[in-house]
Amino acid sequence: MRLRLYLPWPIAWANNWSIEPLQRAMGLPAFLSRDIVMTARLHLAFSSARARQDLQWQHRDAAGMWRDTIEGEMDLLRRHRRRTLVERLRPVEADALAALAEAR
């Protein structure tokens, strides 16, 4: 049995409005924000047919994408040992990402 919860967007917007200052006070980006609620309301089911046609774009297989994503995340964890939850949730610095790109 699959449970689904529908939260009306005004309630979600008000909830995230109250959470944003707390996230910023902790030094985190506001990843639960009112902008996220407004974006979630949009219809985002687009087709990639035009990109394939105009740009000759081909998507990669799912297994390869997951493998590269997991390898990249594990590499970031090895390079940047962080202790607290807040430090783990902070975005990675640009120089760290550049160093990771050069290592590959």
> Is-contact 28 86, C-beta < 8 A?
yes
Backbone angles phi, psi at 78, to 5 degrees: -65, -40
The whole-number pLDDT of residue 68 equals: 92
Label residue 104 by pLDDT band (50, 70, 90): low
- Alpha carbons 69 and 83: distance in angstroms, whole number: 22
Q: For 65-87, what is each residue's pLDDT tens digit?
A: 999 999 988 887 787 776 677 77
Q: For 13-30, what is each residue's pLDDT tens digit?
A: 888 888 888 888 888 877
- Label residue 32 exposed, middle or buried (CB < 10 Å: 0-12, 13-18, 19+): middle
Of the chain, the end-to-end C-alpha distance in Å amounts to 44
Give pTM, 2 decimals: 0.41
> Looking at this protein, which amino acid is placed at residue 80?
H
By percentage, how much of the chain surpasses pLDDT 90? 9
List of long-range contacts for 64-71, beta carbons under 8 Å, 24+ apart: none
The whole-number pLDDT of residue 67 equals: 93
